[in-house]
Amino acid sequence: GIQVEQSPPDLILQEGANSTLRCNFSDSVNNLQWFHQNPWGQLINLFYIPSGTKQNGRLSATTVATERYSLLYISSSQTTDSGVYFCAAFWGKLQFGAGTQVVVTP
Amino acid sequence: EPEVTQTPSHQVTQMGQEVILRCVPISNHLYFYWYRQILGQKVEFLVSFYNNEISEKSEIFDDQFSVERPDGSNFTLKIRSTKLEDSAMYFCASVYPSADTQYFGPGTRLTVL
């Protein structure tokens, strides 16, 4: 099956800082999604991004399908951005990466 | 905005007991999934369901697990005889065409004592 690797595993940011999270996947995929898992454990859809670039407020994502990676950018981070960020690649089902634990400090 | 709902939000059960986790997918969606997440680990695929039958299942989804769509709106996951290692967050997801955005429910946290 598809292997999905995320980096870095942990990230500590000061409020206001920018950061980039990376997701590598081992094979061609039909779909790639980014999620934010909040402190209550809920998976919040951030982006559906099989290719190209999308922006939603302070978050943006880019997927380069031919090179099998996706990037999630967080700009001007806030404490509410804390949590675990997962990418997941679809080939019949979603295969999740291990996540990046983000802590934003005031 | 339509959303996937799951009940209960928390379930505590004794080892060996049967549990049924319930999900109501988004109404016009055609593909349904169950995933689970053991505390501190990544989300893992359990089973996919389309056209009233299982389309794919993982090695985790053994004979103790079953899924059903009994009435055209609910989608259930049954664990016949729970084990300690079944303790996890269970997520239901649905999608309209299969490769589009999967929408996840809020999860059911299952604790097996």
The string of pLDDT tens digits covering residues A46-55 is 999 999 999 9
Closest CA to A87 of A12, A14, A31, A41: A31
* Mean pLDDT of all residues belonging to chain B: 94
Residue B100: per-residue pLDDT: 84
Nearest CB to B42; choose among A50, A92, A97: A97
Whether residue A99 has pLDDT greater than 80: yes
Reduced to 3 states (helix: H, G, I; strand: E, B; else coil), residue A65 is helix
Chain B closest-CA separation from residue A37 CA (Å): 10
Mean pLDDT of B95-110: 90
Q: What is the pLDDT of residue A92?
A: 85
Query: Is there a contact between A45 and A30 (Cβ–Cβ < 8 Å)?
Result: no
Contact B108, B11 (CB under 8 A): yes
Residue B98 has pLDDT above 80, yes or no: no
Per-residue confidence (pLDDT) for residue B9, from 0 to 100: 96
With a cut of 90, say whether residue A91 has pLDDT above it: no
CB B86 within 8 A of CB A18: no
Name the residue in chain A with its Cα closest to that of B98.
A92
Question: A78 with A50: CB under 8 angstroms?
Answer: no
Calpha distance A81→A87 (Å, rounded): 16
**CB-count burial class (<10 Å; 0-12, 13-18, 19+) for B73:** exposed
Q: Cβ of A92 and B48 within 8 Å?
A: yes
Instruction: Return the pLDDT at B10.
Output: 97
Cis peptide before B8 (omega within 30 of 0): yes
Mean pLDDT, to the nearest integer, of A33-62?
95
Tell me which residues of chain B, numbers 59 to 88, contact chain A at a CB-CB cutoff of 8 Å. none
Average pLDDT, stretch B9-13?
97
Q: Is pLDDT above 90 for A39?
A: no
> For chain B, what percent of residues have pLDDT higher than 70?
98
Per the CB < 8 Å rule, is B101 touching A33? yes
- For B103, the enclosing helix (H) or strand (E) is strand B103-104
| pLDDT surpassing 80 at residue B99 | no
Q: What is the pLDDT of residue B57?
A: 96
List the A4-7 sheet strands across, edge first: A4-7, A19-25, A69-74, A59-64, A52-56
